[in-house]
Structure 1
Amino acid sequence: MRERLERRAFFLLLIAVTIGFGIILEPFWSAIFWACAVAVIFAPVQSRLLAKLGDKPNTAAAITLLLCMAIVVIPVMFLGAAFVREGMQFYQRISSGELDPQQVLEQVRTAFPWLDGVLVELGIDTQNLRTQLADWAVNASRFLAKETLTIGQNTASFFLSLALMLYLTYFLLRDGSKLRDLMIRALPFGDEREHALFVKFVEVTRATVKGNLVVAFVQGALGGFIFWILDIPGPLLWGVVMAFLSLIPAVGAALIWFPVSLYLYATGDWMSASILIAFGAIVIGLADNVLRPILVGRDTKLPDYVVLFSTIGGISLFGINGFVVGPLIAALFMATWQIFIVDFNSHEEEEARD
C-alpha cells in the first residue's frame, strides 16, 4: 500500500516538474523546435562526416552547423532584409498616395462589371467589400511597416533566439542518437512502438521542412521572376509573399498572382495579364502539383487531403511553425492508431478466436 502511494506521489511530482519545466521553456519553443528540425534535416550530413573523421563528434557537429549556416541561415537573413526594404517602399507608396487601393479596385470593377452581379448573387455587399479590401491593403502595408519597426527594435531578441537555436542544434547534432535512446528508455510505451514513432517523427519532419521549403523557394522564385519580367513593382516583395503563401497547398501563390493578373486586365495590359495567367497556372502551379506530392506526400505517407487540412490547421494554430507541426501531428496520429490496431485489436481478435 505504501509503495503504491509512493509511486503515485512520485508520478504526480514528475508530471508537475515536467509541466513547470515546459512553462519555463515556453519563450524559447520556436528556437527549440527549429533546432530539432534542423538537426533532423542535417543528421545525414553529420553521419557522413563522422564516418570520414572517425570518432570526432564535436568536429563533425561544428562542420555540419557551419554548413547549415552557409546554406540556410545567412541567405535567409539577406533575403529577409531585402523583403523588409521592399515592404517599407510599398507602405510609403500607399501613404504618399502614389498607389491608391480604392482606385485599383474601381478599375477592376469597371473592367469586370459582371463581377458585381456575381457577388450580389452570392449575397456579398459589393460596396462594403470594396471598402474592406481597400482597408485591408492599407492595414497590410501598415502591418509591414510596423513589423519592420518591431524587428528593428527587437534585433537583440531575434539574434538571441537565433544564437540559442544554433547552440542547441550543435548539441542535438552531436548527441542526437544518445538523446533518442534515452527518451526511448524513459517513455513507457514499449521500445518498439517508441522507435516506430521516432522514425515517423524524423520522416515527417524531414519531408515537410525540406519539401515545403523547396516548393516555397521554387514558387517564390518563379513568381518574383515573372513579376520582374513583366515590370510589376516589388518583385522581390511579392516573390517572398508568394513563397510564404505557397506553404498552403493547392491555393497558396495564386492568392497573389491571380488578383494581379485581373488588375492588369483591368488596366488594359492584356498581354502581360495573359502571360501572368499562363505562367502562374502552368509553371508556378506545376511546381506545386508535381513537387509537393513527391517531396511531401510520398515521404510522409499522408494523403494529399490530409496534408492540406493539417497544414492549414497547423498554421492557424501555431503560426509559421504550423506548416511542419500540423502534418507532424497528423502523421503521428495515424501512426499511433496504426500501432493500436496492430498491437491491441489483433490480440483481442486472436483471443476471441481461441
Structure 2
Amino acid sequence: MSSRSDQRKFFHLMLFIVTVVFGWILFPLFGAVFWGTILAVLFQPVQRRMLARMRGRPNLAALTTLAVILVIVILPLTLVVGMLTQEVSTALVRFRTDLPQLTVAFQQLLDRLPASVHRIMDLAGVQDVNAIQQRLGDGAAQIGRLVAVYLVSIGQNTAQLLVSFGVMLYLLFFLLRDGTVLGAMVRRALPLDERHKSQLIRQFTTVVRATVKGNIAVAVAQGALGGFIFAVLGIQGYVLAAVVMAFLSLLPAVGAAVVWVPVGIWLLLAGHVWKAVILFAFCGTIVSLVDNVLRPILVGKDTKLPDWVVLISTLGGMSLFGLTGFVIGPLIAALFIASWNIYTRLRDDDDAADAG
C-alpha cells in the first residue's frame, strides 16, 4: 500500500511538471493555438454537416470547413486590415490640414457662450484655443509615430506572423477532423463524475460560442452601420471609423459612442449642422439599438453571466491578453462560477452523506 501510494504521488508530481513544461513550450504560439481551438469549437457544427454530406470522409470534410473559414473569416479580415492601414495615414494628414479651420470654428463658438460658461472653462483649463490646437497637433503627431512604429514592427515580424498563421491553420485542420475524439479524451481525463463533466464542458462551449459569435456579431453590425452613415454623409475615413467603432463595441459600457459623438461635435464646429444632426440621430437610435438589443440576446442570454461580471472580466482579460482577452476573460469567469457551483454541490453531497 505504501509503495502504491508513493508511486501515485510521484506520478501526480510528474504529470504536473510535464503539463507545466508543455504549456511553457506552447506559450510562444499561444495566439495561434488559442484561436485555432476557438475556431474549431465554433465551426464544429459545420464540420459535422460536411462530414455527413461527404459520407464519412473526415479529411475532405475538414479541408472544406477550413476553406469556408478562410473565405468568410480570414480573407475579409485581411482586406479590412489593408484598407485600415491606408486610411489611417490619410486621416492623419487630413486632420492636420483641417486643424486651423476647426480652431477658428471653436473660437467662434467660444465667443458666443455666456460669461458663466467661460468662467467654468477657465477653471477647467480649456479656454486657451492655441494651447488646445497645440495639444491636438502633438497628439496627432504622436499617433502617427505610433502607427508608423507598429507598421514597421509588423513588417519586421512578418516571418513570425506567417509561422503563427500556418500553425493555426495546421492545428485547426486536425482539431476539426479529430475534434470529437479529442473532446472524448478530455472528457475522460477529467477527474469528475459525468454530471459535473457535462456542466463544465457545456459551460465552456456555450461561453465560447456566445462570446465570440455574439460580441463579433454586435461589433460587425455596429461597425458596418457606423461606416455606412459616415460614407453617406461624406465623412472621409469611414473604414477607419467602422473598424474603431467595431473594436470599441467589444468593450461593455464603452461602445461606439466614443467615436461618433466626437465626430458629431467636430461637424458642429465645422458648420455642418445637418450632417451632425443626422449622425447623432442615426447613431443614437439605430447603432445604440443594436447594442442594447443584440448583445443581451446573443451574449448574456446564453452565458447566463451578470452584466457586471461580463464587464470586469472582459476589461481585465483585454488588459492582460490584448484583443484575445475579450474571449478569455468571460470564459475564465464562467468556468470560475461553474467550478464553485460544482464545489458547493460536492460539499452539500458530503454533508448529506455524513448526516445520513
Change beyond 3 A, Cα 1:127–1:166: farther
Does residue 85 (structure 1) correspond to residue 83 (structure 2)? The answer is no
Change beyond 3 A, Cα 1:84–1:189: same
Q: How much has 1:298 moved relative to structure 2?
A: 1.0
Cα distance in 2 for partners of 1:73, 1:162 equals 10
Change beyond 3 A, Cα 1:108–1:304: farther
Task: Report the equivalent of 2:27.
Answer: 26
Task: Using structure 1 for the length normalisation, give the TM-score.
Answer: 0.89
Task: Report the equivalent of 2:308.
Answer: 305
State how 1:1-354 maps to structure 2 within 5 Å: 1-93=2-94, 97-100=96-99, 104=102, 107-108=105-106, 111=109, 125-126=125-126, 130=132, 135-349=138-352, 351-352=354-355, 354=356
Q: How much has 1:107 moved relative to structure 2?
A: 4.7
Change beyond 3 A, Cα 1:304–1:118: farther
Q: How much has 1:53 moved relative to structure 2?
A: 2.0
Change beyond 3 A, Cα 1:327–1:228: same
Change beyond 3 A, Cα 1:139–1:31: same
Cα distance in 2 for partners of 1:334, 1:344 equals 15
Cα distance in 2 for partners of 1:310, 1:119 equals 37
Cα distance in 1 for partners of 2:8, 2:107 equals 71
Q: How much has 1:187 moved relative to structure 2?
A: 2.6
Cα distance in 1 for partners of 2:339, 2:270 equals 54
Cα distance in 2 for partners of 1:276, 1:316 equals 31
Percent of aligned positions that are identical: 45
- The farther-off stretch of 129-138 and 219-228 is 129-138
Change beyond 3 A, Cα 1:278–1:293: same
Q: Which runs of 5+ in 1 are unaligned?
A: none
Report the residue type matching 1:84 in the other structure.
Answer: T
- Say if 1:31 and 1:164, in contact at 8 Å, map to a contact too: yes
- Say if 2:118 and 2:127, in contact at 8 Å, map to a contact too: no
Q: How much has 1:140 moved relative to structure 2?
A: 2.4
Task: Using structure 2 for the length normalisation, give the TM-score.
Answer: 0.89
- The farther-off stretch of 240-249 and 126-135 is 126-135
Q: How much has 1:158 moved relative to structure 2?
A: 1.8
**Root-mean-square deviation (Å):** 2.5
Q: Which runs of 5+ in 2 are unaligned?
A: none
